[in-house]
Structure 1
Amino acid sequence: MTTTGIELTDGSGSESVVARADRERPALPSLTGARWWAACAVFLVHALVFLPVYPFQKSELFRTIHQWIPMQLGAAGVTFFFVLSGFIIYWSFRPGNSVRGFYRRRVLKIYPTHVLGAAAFIVAAGVPLHRLVVWAPNLLLIHTWVPKWTTVGGLNVPSWSLAAEVLFYLSFPLALPLIRRIPTRRLLLATAVILLFVVALHTAYYLWVPGPKGTANVFVPRLVPGDTSPYYELHSSPAWFAQPDIPVSPSYWLSYTFPASRLPEFYLGVLAARMVLEGRWRNTRLAIPLLVLALSYAATWVVPVNYKMSALVLAPMTAVVATFGARDMHGIKGITSHPRLVWLGNVTFAFYLVQLPVMVVITRYLIGGRQFGVLGWAGFAVLSLVVSLALGALLYHCVDVPIMRRFAGRRTTRQAG
């Protein structure tokens, strides 16, 4: 690494392969469109948990639905985004890109939308601003590094994943020279080593860190007494943010929200991008990777919580991301590369960050103080989806795109000899 740029040779005798891969990087419409399906999985779980529709959420029907649509569905969507993040970051980085320019683009990409989402949540939920611990760690995206901040300072709950993304981005320029030194022929072996490390890490959490050891789903609605819908879901209630201390399970925190635990997923995406670019991943058929992913997801019902959220689905999810990338590399069109899905994929980030504030407003003014069954919940879920998508599109086109065009232009630097 130089002080102005990053040297993009791998030192393994495969410079010609790497150089050719650096030139041949087409757009990724299939992967962009696939983001929407992952976002829908996350949204569905959030709608089940964060829309406090009573007495529906206290019914046997809800318990049945939640058994079939548990947290690991949304968690699988997050795993997809983490692997995809590594894939996209490596794919888009070019010889001559400066480290400073890379960091500037990453900050401009995530922080404006994040701050607007946090501000919307603060206004909607009436967050007490005099308690810095409630909002400052979240605004700075450092809240998931401290167990209790994960809940007390969680604020706009979905933004927890951005704290992990910040670590991913900070580490990438530092790790890139090492990543590029892996010989092309050993990329699959390096991927297997990371996967084994993830399994070992979560096994250590299971064996030696306090927390739930059973297979039951721990991410369920926090219910209050009565059959009348409350005006706030508990995580957005003023009473929640007034609490001086909210403990969190150590093993759950380490397994799911602790940024360093999710770092391997990002680098699996980085290695997947290298394999696609350098011809080590040639598969373009989605059937087998998706089938293995479905089987792995089904297996999450019978494993402890530590393994539910990412470890079990990580290998097939990486294969799915790599296969989508290979399809784009070879110009293969499919459902996810349709222009409408590509547009939906582009607005996914903003959609992800505004969905909870939207649900808070809908709960406060339309749900609270009333009673609804499953059809009521479904109606409010659809309303939340439509409004979140509209606001997400507005943020994407009026905030994200103009900022990136105006301030995030690429600057090239001369490589050090």
Structure 2
Amino acid sequence: MPSDYRPAVELPALTGARWWAAFAVFVLHALVFIPAYPFQKSELFRTIHTFAPMQQGAAGVTFFFVLSGFVIYWSFREGMPVRLFYRRRILKIYPTHLVAALVFVVAAGVPLGRAVVWAPNVLLVHTWVPKWTTVGGLNVPSWSLCAELLFYFSFPLAYPMVARIPRRGLWWAVAALLVAILALHTGFYLWTDGPKGIANTFAPRLLRGDVSPEFEIHASPQWFAQPDIPIPTSYWLSYPFPASRLPEFYLGVIAARLVAEGLWRNTRLTTPLTALVLVYGATWFVPVNYKMSALLVAPMTAVIATLAARDVAGISGLNARRPLVWLGDISYAFYMIQFPVMVIVTRLFIGGHRYSIGGWALWATVVLVVSILAAAAIYHGMDRPIMRRFAGRPPGDRPRRAATAADQPPISVRAKA
């Protein structure tokens, strides 16, 4: 998710890691939303999709939600006016969101006369309603921004309480948030309607025939014409409902305090990454409610805290290298523009033709390259100029001091997260 972090101890590894999360989402979306027929109807596709299921994209989103909390706390300045904080957050989200929405509207020919399919999305309130008509009414990836807005709105209100947590109570706060997440998803599983099995449910909505359609179903005239498209309650509450994702954001906030106050000392990625891989494997064997984030959030938080601790300690690595840092910088724009680019490529080149896995791979690569170029143009041509011109400068612009293991002055690393 978007970030404009600029502290003295900067976190280049976290910036670079943003790209891997965005790329994980892209791979899943390319499999599901690029309608290359008959490939998507083949046994080979079903086999591939078992190894790249919906929880792959969900893991990327969980990373972004926890990272948002981490970065917002890390970069928050004491005394920053609430209005300035909100203005900076809105300027960071909305321009890129609106550009991606406009591209999608033009590419898909969205019927503007039916406000229900575009207005809630443009206003970023669409995931508060359990209807696919609004949840998936426009640029699909924008659903996560509804949660981000809730995170940002809540932070200045919750910050005094977070700041008052004693150092010895931070680990208890982490435990309480993890228990709350598991309790929420258990309640959704037990007491709401929706799928109860362990099968993955996020898959292409296939149309008739073996010739690739001009529109993927979420961008088709038939989709926009439907009066109502229900969504399973348990899925809605577990995944896109903003309030359900709020604890993930505050896990990131608490993790930032742990790192900033020198309580998170681990700088070896092996342990948290191994835990993440093992837990990710376990998502194949649990109900849908737990696949999205409930199992992934603890090791994901550990990965983020460890990456930050490595940055604070001055430990360089792959994610801190300049090409990945740049990809991390443009990752929000990439995340937002990828689906509109898929719609354009499908309509201009894929529709009306037949493709095997080779054809799908070719067009997925084209979409990847075009999306990176478009994201770079959005980030450098619009996002950065807007933030420099209109976002304002926090009072004193004094970033949070991060304690090192030896309590020495932190190392200054030039990068962005």
Q: TM-score range by the shorter chain?
A: over 0.9
Instruction: Please give the alpha-carbon distance, in whole angstroms, between the structure 1 residues aligned to 2:301 and 2:232.
Output: 28
Residue matched to 2:257: 274
Distance 2:367 2:357 in 1: 15
- The alpha-carbon distance between structure 1 residues 247 and 127, as it changes in their structure 2 partners (threshold 3 A), is same
Q: Secondary structure at the match of 2:227?
A: coil
Q: Distance in 2 between matches of 1:406 and 1:213?
A: 50
Give the one of 272, 281, 284 matched to 2:267. 284
After TM superposition, give the deviation of residue 25 of structure 1 in Å.
5.1
Taking only aligned residues, the RMSD between alpha carbons, in angstroms, comes to 1.4
Which residue of 200, 204, 207 corresponds with 1:224?
A: 207
For residues 410 and 42 of structure 1, the distance between their equivalents in structure 2, rounded to whole angstroms, comes to: 33
Matched, 1:113 2:77: no
Which residue in the other structure is 1:17 paired with?
none
Alignment of 1:169-248 (within 5 A): 169-248=152-231
Q: Matched residues in 2 for 1:25 and 1:250: separation?
A: 44
Distance (whole Å) between structure 1 residues aligned to residue 203 and residue 298 of structure 2: 27
Partners of 2:348 and 2:316 in 1: CA distance? 44
CA deviation vs aligned residue, 1:142-198 (integer Å, no higher than 9, x gap): 000011156465300000000000000000000000001110111111101100010
Mapping for residues 345-364 of structure 1, pairs under 5 Å: 345-364=328-347
How is 1:16-415 mapped onto 2 (pairs within 5 angstroms)?
Answer: 26-148=9-131, 151=134, 154-412=137-395
Paired residues of 1:154 and 1:160 also in contact (CA < 8 A): no
Aligned length: 392
Q: Cα–Cα, structure 1 residues 91 and 150, in superposed 2: closer, same or farther, change >3 Å?
A: farther
Q: Which residue of 1 aligns with 2:408?
A: none
Q: Tell me the distance in 1 between the aligned counterparts of 2:160 and 2:396.
A: 17
**Partner letter of residue 286 of structure 2?**
V
SS of equivalent residue, structure 1 residue 257 = coil
Contact 2:59 2:293 in 1 (8 A): yes
Q: TM-score, normalised by structure 2?
A: 0.92
SS at match of 1:127: coil
* Aligned partner of residue 86 in structure 2, secondary structure: helix
Q: For residues 364-407 of structure 1, give each alpha carbon's deviation from its aligned partner in whole angstroms, at most 9, with x where no partner exists.
A: 11100000000000001100000000000000000000000001
Write the distance in 2 (CA, Å) between the matches of 1:27 and 1:344.
Answer: 16
Q: Distance in 1 between matches of 2:75 and 2:132?
A: 33
Determine helix, strand or coil for the equivalent of 1:197: helix
Residue aligned with 1:130, SS: coil
Percent identity reads 67
CA distance in 2, matches of 1:105, 1:363: 35
Which runs of 5 or more residues in structure 1 are unaligned? 1-22
For the 8 Å contact 1:143–1:149, the answer to whether it is kept is no
In the superposition, the TM-score normalised over structure 1's length comes to 0.92
- Indicate the residue corresponding to 2:411 in structure 1: none
Distance apart, 1:411 and its partner CA: 3.5
Residue by residue over 1:281-311, the C-alpha shift from the partner in whole angstroms, topping out at 9 and shown as x without a partner, is 0101000000000000000000000000000
Aligned partner of 1:18 in structure 2 is none
- Report the 3-state secondary structure (helix = DSSP H, G, I; strand = E; otherwise coil) of the residue aligned with 1:211: coil
From the superposition, tell whether residues 56 and 387 of structure 1 become closer, same or farther in structure 2 (CA, over 3 Å). Answer: same
Contact 1:24 1:277 in 2 (8 A): no
Gaps of 5+ in 2: 1-5, 398-417
